[in-house]
Amino acid sequence: MSANTATAPAKALPPRVALRTWVAIALFAGFALVPVLAGLIDDPFLLVTATRIVVFAIAAMALDLILGYGAMVSFGHAAYLGIGAYAVAILSAYGITDLGLHLLAAVMVSAVFAAITGGISLRTRGVYFIMITLAFGQMAYFFFVSLSAFGGDDGMTLGRRSTVFGQPLLEDNLVLFYVALGFLVALYAFSAALVRSRFGRVLTGTRENRIRMQAIGFAPFPYQLTAFVISGCMTSVAGVLLANQSEFVSPAFMNWHRSGELIVMVVLGGIGNLTGAIGGAMIALLLEDWLSLLTRHWRLFFGLFLVLVVLYAPGGVTGLIRRIRGGPP
């Protein structure tokens, strides 16, 4: 939202908020029906794709929480995907296979990593913040590259997926999909509550005007850091699920390309919109799948698509929908 929007809506905004939520609910319902569709057209690969979309939707949503609502452009968020994935791989290697423990370890390590790197990164702003988060992300990447006990550069294949109460339930792709979807819905509900809470309002207020927030008595740092940590922890949940989906972990999960892809998803969906981030993840992954079927040079066309979106639909998909409905962009 910019200061120089030409016309102001005379009335309040409540309907728009509700619309977003409805779209999200529709998306979740659509996801829930994917296995039925996959059964009908007898395409087991559809379920795999859908699981990846759901997992990346969690990560994109987590990133949007700080990028969109807090104006903190983290270019190192793939590190948390990697931390989550390696939590599964490393604990499993030591015979701890429980999903709950994997999640707990992922979230705890991510919280510590986010608190330290965020605490340092938040001393800077703008481009410097982007660069310093990138640097920390790459440090995490090279740490796992050099971790030869766990495959180093090559990564390692997981013997099996995480267990739930000792049962290998997640070995079934269908169960894994619904577990991932469950996490997406729960984390969406959590995030939606967060951005509307007092805490969320301080976060968005700081995005809008930092000096103004200080002038009414807020110190932005503790709020921003807390949001940064929450976002990192959420992303690591996606990492745990990603490792289970691919049954393989490698440092490539936390490479800076991956961080860039997460930002692309947020931008495609429309910055500062949780539902949009889910849509952005969906579009990015489907487009990638589709374009890579057509040509080996699919990245070129993907790039072209991104340029077009940024130029002609700067609000991403959600901005486009809003414009079609006749609201302000």
Partner 1 sequence: MSDPLLSVRHLCKAYGALKVTDDLSLDVATGELHAIIGPNGAGKTTLISQLSGQLRPDSGRIDYGGRDITRLKMHERVRHGMARSFQITSILPGFTVLENVAMAVQARSGSSFRFFGAAARERVLNDAAMDALAEVGLDDRAHRIAGPMSHGEHRQLEIAVALATKPRLLLLDEPLAGTGGEEAENLVALFRKLKARTTLVLIEHDMQVVFALADRISVLVYGRIVASGTPDEIRSDPAVREAYLGEETT
In the bound state with partner 1, the residue whose beta carbon lies nearer, of 85 and 234, is 234
For partner 1, which is the closer residue by CB, 193 or 307? 193
| 136 vs 223, beta carbon nearer partner 1 | 223
Contact 88, 157 (CB under 8 A): no
Q: Minimum distance between the CB of residue 198 and partner 1, rounded to whole angstroms?
A: 4
Residues in contact with partner 1 by CB under 8 A are 1-13, 193-194, 196-202, 204-205, 208-209, 211-219, 222-223, 226
Give the shortest CB-235-to-partner 1 separation in angstroms: 18
> Which tokens hold the place of 115?
């608190």
Rounded distance, CA 298 to CA 149, Å? 35
318 with 276: CB under 8 angstroms? Answer: yes
Query: Residue 303 Cβ, how far from partner 1 at the closest point, in Å?
Result: 30
Closest CB 234 distance from partner 1, rounded Å? 13
For residues 3 and 36, which CB has a smaller minimum distance to partner 1 in the complex? 3
Q: Which residue has the tokens 């990164």?
A: 121
Q: How far is the CB of 194 from partner 1 (least distance, A)?
A: 5
Q: Helices 44-67 and 274-294: crossing angle, nearest 10°?
A: 130
Give me the least distance between CB of 272 and partner 1, in Å please: 9
Pick between residue 220 and residue 280 the one whose CB is nearest to partner 1.
220
Give which of 238, 231, 227, 226 is closest to 184, Cα–Cα: 238
DSSP of 291-319: HHHH-TTHHHHHHHHHHHHHHH-TTHHHH
- On whether the CB atoms of residues 71 and 125 are closer than 8 A, the answer is no
Provide φ and ψ at 101, rounded to 5°.
Answer: -70, -35
Residues whose CB falls within 8 Å of the CB of residue 87, separated by 6 or more in sequence, listed in order: 102, 103, 105, 106, 109, 236, 239, 240, 243
Cβ closest to partner 1, residue 35 vs residue 68: 68
CB nearer to partner 1: pick between 198 and 325: 198
Selection from 172, 263, 239, 187 nearest residue 28 by Cα: 187
Q: Residue 157 forms beta bridges with which residues?
A: 248
Q: Kindly state the smallest distance separating residue 210's Cβ from partner 1, in Å.
A: 10
Pick between residue 91 and residue 107 the one whose CB is nearest to partner 1.
Answer: 107
Rounded Cα gap, residues 82 and 265, in angstroms: 18
Q: In the bound complex, what is the minimum distance in angstroms from residue 200's beta carbon to partner 1?
A: 7
